Amino acid sequence: MKKFKKITKYIVNGLNMVNAIILVLSPIWGWNLDKISKTIIGLAGIISTYLVSGKLFEKEEEEWKQEYYKTMIVESLQITN
């Protein structure tokens, strides 16, 4: 899964670079690439949202585990006392 996330980060960076090139060259050369640029922005946004939400779920799960273990330790100390 880590490899997949790393690849998707490179894809997002690549899409953003291509989009920057399109945005810079379009007015210079008179190209009308607005639809392509908007599509790239949408794809990068979707992938970025996936990456961020995955991190949030992992963080939430880790916090839940830590809270669970704290509770177990407190309960075990109360039982022994």
Residue 22's pLDDT is what? 92
Q: What is the DSSP string of the chain?
A: -HHHHHHHHHHHHHHHHHHHHHHHHHHHHT---HHHHHHHHHHHHHHHHHHHHHHHHHHHHHHHHHHHHHHHHHHHHHHH-
pLDDT digits (tens, 9 = 90+) for 35-53: 999 999 999 988 888 877 7
pLDDT digits (tens, 9 = 90+) for 56-70: 556 666 666 667 666
Q: Where are the domains positioned within the chain? A: 2-80
Full-model pTM: 0.59
